[in-house]
Amino acid sequence: QLTIDGSPSFHLRPVFLDHPVATHRRYEQAVNVLKQEIHQYFRQERLDRLGVEKLLWLTFQPDLQLRQIPFSGHLGRQYVSGKFTVLDFRLGRHAFQLFPAFDNYLSLLEGEGHSRAELKTRAEETLEALLKNIRKEQGNHLEVEDFVAPRREFLTTVETNIRIGAAPIKFDQRQERDFFRQFLPDTDFDGGEEIEKVSFDLNQLYPGGLQRAFYRDELATRLQQIIYQAENTPLVLIGAEGAGKHTLLHEVIRRYLSETESPTQVRRQRLWHLDPTRVIAGMSIVGLWEKRFEAILRHVRQPTGKAGEPSDKLLVDNPIALLEIGRSAQNDLTLANVLKPYLEKRLLQLILIATPEQWKIVQERDRSFSDLFQVVRLPASQPEEALRIALRQRRRLELENQCQITIQAVRQLFNLQRNYLPHKALPGSVMKLMRQLATKYRGFTVDAPEVRQEFQDLSGLRERIFDESMRLEEAEVEKVIGRELVGQPEAVRALADAINAVKAKLNNPDRPLASFLLIGPTGVGKTQAAKVLCRYLTGNERQLMRFDMNEYIDETAVQRLIGDYYNPEGQLSGKVRYQPFGVVLLDEVEKAHPKVLDLLLQVLDDGRLSDSRGRTVDFTNTI
C-alpha cells in the first residue's frame, strides 16, 4: 500500500515478474485492473519457449515467507538506512531468497536446515552487495527511496482465467523472414482470441467493479432465472436512459458469481459485453468479418471446446447496430442475419439493452429478429425510491473517493433534476452528476455550492438563472436587454418575460422554454435578439445554435436534420443532444422545405424528437 498524491493506494504486481502491474485506491478495483492487465499481457503470447516461461513464473506458488529486513550502514561516503523486502521459500533441498525491488534478484542457499538467523545474515550480505553495485552504476549516489519497502506490504493470491494459444516449443526455431507475409490478413480465426478483441468479460469486474442495484430484488431474481437457466432464451431489457439497465445486469452477475464461488461448482458462465462496431474493424476482404463472427459465436457456444459444458452469454447495448453493421453495396448480410439461426435454435443466449424508441426501430426494421426475444421492461424509479437509492450510492461514492457528500448537496441535485431534467429517468440522471462530483472533489466535501457550479459547467446556464436564492428584478432584466437591443421595446419585453418565466419555473415543462417568431426586414436586429438572449442566459454566445435554413430547402433536409441510415448523427438532433441547454436560431425559416416545418412543429408541441437511431432528443431546455 503506497501513498500517491496524498491518498493511500494499492499497488499490485506478480511476485516473480515486474509486469503487469495495477494501481488503484480500492483493493478490489486494483485486483480487477490487474486481471485485465494479465489478459492483455498474454493476448499476443503463444505457448512457445518465451510464453511458457512467463506463464510458469506467473503461476509458480511456493510457500513464501515475506520479511522486511532492516539494513543500515555506510556505502562509501553515503549512509543508507531502511527496511527492504525479502521473500524466503524452499524448493527441494535448497533455500531461496527473492528481492523484488532489485529486479527480482534471486539468491540460492544450498543445503538444508538454515536457521532464521542464518537467513537474515545472508539477506543482509546480499542486500549490501546489491546496493553497492547499484550505487556504482548510478555514479556513486544511491536513491534509496526507490528500493525501500513500503510500510504496509502483503502477499495474496489472485485467480483468473487466461487464454493462450498453443505453439510448438522448438529450441532451435528459425524465424520467418517473408517480408510480405506480415501484410496478409489472418483468415484462420480463433474465437477465444477474437472475442477478447471485440468484447469485455463482465465477470472480471467481480466483486468491486460491479454496480449494486438497490430495491430491485424481484426483478433481479427474475432476470437471473432467465439468463442463467439451461435454455438459452434471447432476452431484451427495455427501459429509458438512466433507469438502471446496466446496473441491474451488474447486480444479476454479482449474485450469480457469489453463488458459484465454491470450487466444486461447474465452470462459471461468462457474460461478454460485445461492441458490434469492433466486429468488422480491420475486415477489408469480402467475407472476412463473417468468418470472424462465426468463430466468436462458436467459442461462446463451447468456450472450453467440450460438449455438454455450459455456454457463455453475449450482451449488446446497441441493438440497432446489429441490423446495420455488415451491410454493404454488394452484400445485405448483417450481424443480426448471422445471429438468427443461433437464436432460433437456442444455441446461444443474446441479451440486448434498449430504450423503448430503439426497440421500436428494431421491430420496424426486422420483425422476425425482434420476435425471437423475451421482453423485460424496467420502469424508472419514483422520486421517493430514487432518493433512497441515491443515499445508498452516496455512501459507496464517499468510500471510493474519500470525500463527503452532504444532504444539502443531494437535495440540490434532486431540485435541479426536477426543474431542468424532468424527462430524464431516475435515478440515473441524478447519479451521473453525483459520480462526477465525487470524482472531481476527491478528498473534499461536496456541498450545494459545488453542485450548482457543476451544473453551471454542464448546462452553460448562469447560476443566477437556476439558483432559487438569487432574485431577478423585471426592470433590471429589461434594462440589460434593452441596452443591447436598441429601438425594439416590444421584443425587449417579450425576451424579458421569457427569462422571468424560466427563472420562476412558470414555463410549460413539456415544451421548449420559449418560442419566438421574429419578423422584420434585414438589419432591424432579429439575429441580435437571439444573441442578446443567449448572452443573458449563458453569459456568452457559444450556446447559440444557428442553422441557415437556406440549406434545407429540398426533401432530404429532414434526413440531414435528424439523420438517416448512412449518416445517423443528424445536424439538429446531434447538436441539441450534446448541448441540451441553449438557444436554437433558425435563420430565414420561411425558405425551409414544408417537411422541415412539420418536424419543427413536433418540437414546439412535444419538446422533443427522435433521431434515426431512436434516441430521444430533449428540447425542453432550449429556446
Lowest-pLDDT range of 236-240, 303-307, 506-510: 303-307
pLDDT category of residue 124 using cuts at 50, 70 and 90: confident
What distances in angstroms separate CA 35 from CA 28, 157, 160, 166, 355, one per listed residue? 11, 12, 7, 21, 32
Decide if 89 contacts 63 (C-beta within 8 A). Answer: yes
**489-504 and 474-484 helices, crossing angle to 10°:** 140
- How many Cα atoms within 13 Å fall on the side-chain side of residue 503? 21
**What value does the mean pLDDT take over residues 567-595?**
92
- Return the exposure string of 579-603: e unless at least 16 CB atoms fall within 10 Å of the residue's CB, then b: bbbbbbbbeeeeebbebbeebbeeb
Q: Backbone phi, then psi, for 117, in 5-degree steps? A: -65, -40
Compute the mean pLDDT over every residue in the chain, rounded to the nearest whole number.
Answer: 87
Question: Using one digit for the tens of pLDDT, what is the confidence trace for 12-27?
Answer: 989 888 888 888 888 8
Output the pLDDT for position 174.
Answer: 52
Question: Using one digit for the tens of pLDDT, what is the confidence trace for 417-475?
Answer: 999 998 889 999 999 999 999 999 988 999 999 999 999 999 999 998 998 888 888 88
Better pLDDT: 265 or 587: 587
List the end-to-end C-alpha distance of the chain, in Å, as a whole number.
53
Residue 471, amino acid: R
Lowest-pLDDT range of 66-75, 175-184, 246-255, 380-389: 175-184
Decide if 607 contacts 566 (C-beta within 8 A). Answer: no
pLDDT category of residue 264 using cuts at 50, 70 and 90: very low
Q: What percent of the chain has pLDDT over 70?
A: 93
Predicted confidence (pLDDT) at residue 307 exceeds the cutoff of 80: no
* CA angle (594 as vertex; 592, 599 as ends), nearest 5: 90
Q: How far apart are CA 380 and CA 245, in angstroms?
A: 10
- How many Cα atoms within 13 Å fall on the side-chain side of residue 161? 12
User: Which region, left, alpha or beta, applies to residue 308 given φ > 0 means left and ψ of -120 to 50 means alpha?
Assistant: left
Lowest-pLDDT range of 159-168, 212-221, 364-373, 415-424: 159-168
Lowest-pLDDT range of 165-174, 290-299, 412-421: 165-174
Q: How many CB atoms lie within 10 A of CB 255?
A: 18
Q: How far apart are CA 227 and CA 256, in angstroms?
A: 10
Lowest-pLDDT range of 14-18, 283-287, 558-562, 596-600: 283-287
- 383-459: CATH topology is Helicase, Ruva Protein; domain 3 (1.10.8)
pLDDT category of residue 572 using cuts at 50, 70 and 90: very high
The answer, yes or no, to whether the previous bond of 568 is cis (omega within 30 of 0) is no
Q: How far apart are CA 492 and CA 454, in angstroms?
A: 30
Output the pLDDT for position 287.
Answer: 79
**What value does the mean pLDDT take over residues 68-96?**
84
Please provide the size of the chain in residues.
Answer: 623
Decide if 322 contacts 234 (C-beta within 8 A). Answer: no
* Winning range, highest mean pLDDT, from 90-99, 148-157, 292-301: 292-301
pLDDT category of residue 169 using cuts at 50, 70 and 90: low
Output the pLDDT for position 326.
Answer: 87
Output the pLDDT for position 68.
Answer: 87
Question: Using one digit for the tens of pLDDT, what is the confidence trace for 92-108?
Answer: 888 888 898 888 888 88
CATH number for the 509-618 domain, one of 2.102.10.10, 2.40.30.10, 3.40.50.1100, 3.40.50.300? 3.40.50.300
Q: What percent of the chain has pLDDT over 90?
A: 47
Predicted confidence (pLDDT) at residue 383 exceeds the cutoff of 90: yes
Q: Give the SS3 label for residue 623.
A: coil
Domain boundaries, the chain: 2-59, 65-146, 185-377, 383-459, 509-618
Q: How far apart are CA 606 and CA 599, in angstroms?
A: 11
Residue 100: closest CA among 58, 61, 147: 147
Distance of CA 353 to the CA centre of its chain: 15
Predicted confidence (pLDDT) at residue 167 exceeds the cutoff of 70: no
Predicted confidence (pLDDT) at residue 298 exceeds the cutoff of 60: yes
* CA angle (473 as vertex; 469, 478 as ends), nearest 5: 140
Q: How many CB atoms lie within 10 A of CB 118?
A: 12
Question: Using one digit for the tens of pLDDT, what is the confidence trace for 126-153?
Answer: 888 888 888 777 776 777 777 888 888 8
Global pTM?
Answer: 0.78
**What value does the mean pLDDT take over residues 33-50?**
75
Better pLDDT: 172 or 110: 110
Better pLDDT: 449 or 178: 449
Predicted confidence (pLDDT) at residue 171 exceeds the cutoff of 60: no
Predicted confidence (pLDDT) at residue 39 exceeds the cutoff of 70: yes
Predicted confidence (pLDDT) at residue 88 exceeds the cutoff of 70: yes
- Cross-strand pairs, 7: 4
Better pLDDT: 263 or 466: 466
Q: Which three cell numbers stand for residue 168?
A: 510448438
Topology alike, domains 185-377 and 509-618: yes
Three-state SS letters, 450-513 = HHHHHHHHHHCCCHHHHCCCCCCCHHHHHHHHHHHCCCCHHHHHHHHHHHHHHHHCCCCCCCCC
- Domain 185-377 CATH superfamily: P-loop containing nucleotide triphosphate hydrolases (3.40.50.300)
- How many Cα atoms within 13 Å fall on the side-chain side of residue 380? 16
Output the pLDDT for position 613.
Answer: 81
